[in-house]
Amino acid sequence: MSDFNALQAHSPGLVPIRVYTNGKQISTNSMVFEYKADARLNMVSVPPTDTSLKLCLIHRMECLEKCFRNFKGDFVGIKSLEDGAVRICMGLMGQDWVSDDDDLSKILPPLDRRMTLLHISAALGYARLVFTLIRWKRENPSRILDSEVNPHQPDGLGLIPLMWCARYGHLECGIILAQWSPECLQKRDSGGLNPVQIAVASGFVKCASELEKIQASRANPTFGQSLDCTSGMTILKSAYSIYLPNSL
């Protein structure tokens, strides 16, 4: 069973309702019931749990699909939620946005705890999804992606995406974000800690060490354009080739 199927009981839509007793239908006519997406899918607990973050990601992806014409992705036959999200993003990457005016913002609900797709992906440690979002923003830019894939934007807890990687020790995600936007390493949370210090405080010494190396080297300045860097991305190239065959 996929993560998506495990987390959602029924797909939104119209379903017939019939009355049964002891296994026998006693109603002569069926009624139509509209099953709507649960508003709680966009509720991130504090502190965030893995399940609440996954539910928020599913809901955000479903809303994002509405910004495109004639596209309907799904999570059928996937091995993980990240695989499904990457596949949908890849499908949307070449699509045309419905609009680029102020009305487009009405399609997406308000951010839950101000966590964007990049925040959620980083908090879950979904390195392939983070990489895909960065590539998508480069290849099919829009105001929506400027907001959803912004490495500098703090959420409701005062954390930027890289800080979530540092807090949970997501090394690969952290390397990608730090290489893409090394200035994020200088950002500080409400407690005055930068991502390296957050990783140390959380007990993730390896993550802190790798981020510190990037901070010292100031990373590859062309990474934002080419999405090609050394260090962690070299390790990830073979894994990403399945999803991003032309990106590296």
**Tokens 């990830």 belong to residue:** 236
Summarised one tens digit per residue, pLDDT across range 81-102 is 999 899 889 888 888 777 655 5
pLDDT at site 154:
94
Average pLDDT per 10 consecutive residues for the chain, totaling 248 residues: 40 57 65 48 63 87 78 69 90 77 59 85 96 92 89 93 97 95 94 96 96 80 46 43 39
Sign of CA dihedral 231, 122, 177, 140: positive
pLDDT at site 62:
82
pLDDT at site 122:
97
pLDDT at site 226:
44
C-alpha atoms less than 13 angstroms from C-alpha of 111 in its C-beta half-sphere = 17
Residue 5's CB is within 10 A of a number of other CB atoms, namely: 12
In DSSP terms, 15 is beta-bridged to 33
What are the helix and strand counts (H, E) for the chain? 12, 4
pLDDT at site 8:
42
Domain 3-240 in CATH: superfamily?
Ankyrin repeat-containing domain (1.25.40.20)
**Cis omega (within 30 of 0) for bond into 47:** yes
Selection from 82, 59, 46 nearest residue 155 by Cα: 46
pLDDT at site 13:
46
Q: Supply the DSSP string of 133-172, one letter for each residue.
A: HHHHHHHS--HHHHHHT-TT---TTS--HHHHHHHHT-HH
Determine phi and psi for 113, rounding to 5 degrees: 55, 25
pLDDT at site 98:
73
Cβ contacts of residue 163 below 8 Å, gap of 6+?
187, 189, 195, 198
Question: Which residue pairs, CB below 8 angstroms and at least 24 apart, start in 41-48?
Answer: 41/8, 42/109, 42/112, 43/112, 44/112, 44/113, 44/115, 44/120, 46/113, 46/157, 48/123
Chain-centroid distance of CA 204 in Å reads 22
What is the distance between the alpha carbons of residues 243 and 9, in angstroms, rounded to a whole number? 28
Query: 216 by DSSP, 3-state: which?
Result: helix
pLDDT at site 94:
80
The domains of the chain are located at 3-240
Pairing status of strand 24-25 against strand 31-35: unpaired
What is the distance between the alpha carbons of residues 198 and 247, in angstroms, rounded to a whole number? 31
